[in-house]
Amino acid sequence: MNSFAKKVIATVLTAAMAFSFAACSTKSEGMTIEEGKLIMATNAFFPPYEYYEGETITGIDAEIAQAVADKLGLELVIEDVSFDSIIAGVQSGKYDIGCAGMTVTESRLQSVNFTSTYATGIQSVIVAEGSEITDVDTLLAGDYIVGVQSGTTGDIYMSSSVEDGGVGEDRVDRYARGNDAVVALMSGKVDAVVIDNEPAKAFVAANEGLTILDTAYAEEDYAMAINKDNQELLDAVNGALAELEADGTLDAIITKYIPAES
């Protein structure tokens, strides 16, 4: 990994690992915003974590959230919103959980709590084939313009100073969706796009003339955001995730969308 790569390690917030799984089958009063429902905020343009199949939102996050909701005896309701509004929505009580390939960061921890982690992601760099940008160090050292999805860790990382491993605000172009940043790359408006590796692979497969740099930019762990005042829901979701990990459900869902390399 290059000298600027960073590892964002999620804080595991399992205050009650002895939580009774039997209690998960019944929703306690006040645990969720709406009786009998688990309202999840996501941005459904981040394959394979969340994306549309017809009018249905599917993907890793959607299936894991559904499995958690089933454990809690709740109906999952998915709201497709802009990525950078998810934390604020969870913090204000508009949504029960934020689940969108979301990395735990110190700044986000000031606003919300996070569950145990359930997946690991890599921030990668997409460039045009034949680009003079051949590695991450070249990208950071040059005057290249980088496209990112607004509010993502790719945005946070790249907007930081060169000394902190980014390129600075002046060299970052923000887009509402990852695919909008890729379109900007294809039209020459930006020189590279920094985004999670799995969506990056999907975008490159769907658009000729693009490639992913061999060197990763950063590694990170994903978790669900929950309101800081809702310890009961945090404990319940962590209990469900622990059971889903123990019985192999989490691995099965992730492998379904990201097959292990042979």
Residue with tokens 């962590």, as numbered in its chain = 238
Q: Is the pLDDT of residue 15 over 70?
A: no
Tell me the per-residue pLDDT of 188-210, one tens digit each, with 9 for 90 and over: 999 999 998 989 999 999 999 99
- Topology (CATH) of 122-219: D-Maltodextrin-Binding Protein; domain 2 (3.40.190)
Distance, in Å, from the CA atom of 134 to the CA atom of 78, rounded to the nearest integer, reads 39
Q: What percent of the chain has pLDDT over 90?
A: 71
Pick from 247, 147, 141: nearest CA to 191: 147
Instruction: Check residues 18 and 125 and name the one with the higher pLDDT.
Output: 125
Which band of pLDDT confidence, cut at 50, 70 and 90, is reported for residue 28? very low
Residue with tokens 């408006």, as numbered in its chain = 189
Residue with tokens 């160090």, as numbered in its chain = 137
Amino acid at 81: V
Q: What is the pLDDT of residue 259?
A: 78
Pick from 195, 217, 241: nearest CA to 61: 241
Q: Would you say 60 and 253 are in contact if contact means Cβ atoms under 8 Å apart?
A: yes
Which band of pLDDT confidence, cut at 50, 70 and 90, is reported for residue 153? confident
Distance, in Å, from the CA atom of 97 to the CA atom of 86, rounded to the nearest integer, reads 9
Q: For the domain covering 6-118+223-257, report its CATH number.
A: 3.40.190.10
Which residues touch 253 (CB under 8 Å, ≥6 apart)? 60, 63, 64, 67
Q: Report the predicted TM-score, pTM, of the whole model to 2 decimal places.
A: 0.71
Q: Is 147 helix (H, G, I), strand (E, B) or coil?
A: strand
Q: What is the pLDDT of residue 105?
A: 86
Q: Is the pLDDT of residue 112 over 90?
A: yes
Q: Is the pLDDT of residue 226 over 50?
A: yes
Which residues on neighbouring strands pair with residue 219, listed in sequence order? 7, 122
> Where do you find CATH 3.40.190.10 in the chain?
6-118+223-257, 122-219
Tokens of 105: 């960061």
Q: Is the pLDDT of residue 93 over 60?
A: yes
Instruction: Check residues 219 and 30 and name the one with the higher pLDDT.
Output: 219
